[in-house]
Amino acid sequence: MFELLSVSKNYEETEALKNVSISVGARKITAFLGPNGAGKTTAIKILSGLIKPDSGDALICRTSILKNPIEAKRKFGYSPDIPMLFEYLTGIDYLNLIMDIFRIPSSERPGRVEKYIEAFDMKDHIGNQITAYSLGMKKKLSLITALCHEPEVFFLDELTRTRFDGRTEDTV
């Protein structure tokens, strides 16, 4: 579950969010829909602690991302629109790095890794260097890393974005 509590955010003279409050309970799938510039990504970045609001607060499972960022960040997974990966690592090395960060015991890792690499059809590629991955494979790895610590909340930003003729467009 997550909440935005009277959140406002401005970028210079552009008002991205103005006094936004939303509460989403457990076991809910929620989508932020709106035109470009509506504040969807800004809301997700505030919820994930990537940027701070000008006012208000964001809670992840009742934990403030502003007051207790480490505790809050253990409770969610985040997959951005453009995967930000350490491309010189192999996929499995990157997954192990992320699981080190989340302090996943070594004994639990094989089961988690196998479950997700099977689900995302990455078994034949997980040992390859990330720089050799296609964009689709990088997005799959981003999803796996966001899920590997089994978060209570999962944020996806622009999951359906595709590229046509060098431009980026939303498909939904």
Task: Give the pLDDT confidence score for residue 36 in this predicted structure.
Answer: 85
pLDDT (tens place) for every residue of the chain, 172 residues total: 999 999 999 999 899 999 999 999 988 888 888 888 889 999 999 999 999 999 999 999 999 999 999 999 999 999 988 888 999 999 999 999 999 999 999 999 998 889 999 999 999 999 999 999 999 999 999 999 999 999 999 998 876 654 444 444 443 3
- Is position 162 within any domain? no
Task: Record the pTM.
Answer: 0.81
Could you give the CA distance from residue 11 to residue 2 in angstroms, rounded to a whole number?
24
Hey, what are 96's tokens? 């192990």
User: Does residue 71 share a domain with residue 25?
Assistant: yes
User: Does residue 129 share a domain with residue 104?
Assistant: yes
Could you give the CA distance from residue 153 to residue 28 in angstroms, rounded to a whole number?
9
Give me the domain span that covers residue 143: 91-147
Which letter does DSSP use for residue 25 in this model?
A: -
Could you give the CA distance from residue 93 to residue 53 in angstroms, rounded to a whole number?
34
- Count: domains in the chain: 2
- Is position 57 within any domain? yes
Could you give the CA distance from residue 96 to residue 145 in angstroms, rounded to a whole number?
9
